[in-house]
Amino acid sequence: MFKAKIKYTKYHYSEFFWSHFFRRESIIPLIGFAVILFIFNMNYKDVPEALEFSLIFGTILYVTIISIFFTLIIKFRVKRSMKDTAKNILFEFNDQQFHQTSLYKDQPIDQTGPYVVFKKVVVTKRLILLYIRFNMAIIIPKSSLVEGNVNDFISFLKERIPTSKNK
């Protein structure tokens, strides 16, 4: 059995959002568009220098604006998540199911479920993310384990949730 007693910080949410936004499925289209802009610029040899400069500048500006946009979204989401987080969170993981207890807006939550509710496990530097849907995950900070060892816990989850990966 593994137990995790969780008290979320802004760093947990920040790492989750950075990991979520910059995974392969999200970032490849953005990089692809920037590469297309750059290739478009390199294929036109007869383009006046002023237009060539503007295409390079446009590509750089695009990448900069997208980076700033993602940073602002993540900061906003972290701030919002910190206001709306549960308290006294305890997860227990046994062979057949997991159990969660917590307080959310002063209301007790007590739920049990099978591992099939999780679509995948993603392991980051400090977190274990148990994805329920494409855009929703349970965040388990590695430091929150009070029973069991982190590597054993990750192996335990990977046996029960087959579509998992390390980041």
End of a domain among 83, 105, 126? 83
Distances (CA, A) of 39 to 54, 55, 89: 14, 10, 50
pLDDT at 40 > cutoff 70: no
Mean pLDDT across 28-38: 70
Mark whether 23 and 41 lie in a shared domain: yes
Mark whether 40 and 61 lie in a shared domain: yes
Could you read off the pLDDT of 137-154 as tens digits, one per residue? 888 999 999 988 999 999
Give the chain's end-to-end CA distance (angstroms, integer): 25
End of a domain among 83, 109, 128? 83
Residue with tokens 């007693």: 5
Question: How many structural domains compose the chain?
Answer: 2
Q: What is the pTM of this model?
A: 0.68
The residue segments making up the domain with residue 148 are 2-7+85-166
Could you read off the pLDDT of 43-102 as tens digits, one per residue? 555 556 655 666 677 777 777 887 788 777 767 776 776 677 778 889 999 999 999 998
End of a domain among 34, 60, 83? 83
- Whole-number Å distance between alpha carbons of 10 and 44: 47
**What's the confidence (pLDDT) of residue 88?**
85
| Identity of residue 9 | T
Count Cβ atoms below 10 Å from residue 96 Cβ, excluding itself. 9
**What's the confidence (pLDDT) of residue 112?**
93
Mark whether 67 and 89 lie in a shared domain: no
- Whole-number Å distance between alpha carbons of 127 and 137: 11
Mark whether 46 and 95 lie in a shared domain: no
Any idea what DSSP says for residue 143?
A: G
**What's the confidence (pLDDT) of residue 114?**
92
Higher pLDDT, 42 or 112: 112
Q: Which pair of structure tokens corresponds to residue 97?
A: 């199911």
- Whole-number Å distance between alpha carbons of 162 and 155: 11
Could you read off the pLDDT of 7-20 as tens digits, one per residue? 888 887 777 777 77
| 91 exposure class (CB count in 10 Å sphere: 0-12, 13-18, 19+) | buried
Mark whether 27 and 77 lie in a shared domain: yes
**What's the confidence (pLDDT) of residue 43?**
59
**What's the confidence (pLDDT) of residue 15?**
79
Mark whether 152 and 128 lie in a shared domain: yes
Mark whether 55 and 40 lie in a shared domain: yes
CATH code at position 158: 2.30.29
pLDDT band at 2; cut points 50, 70, 90: very high
Mark whether 89 and 161 lie in a shared domain: yes
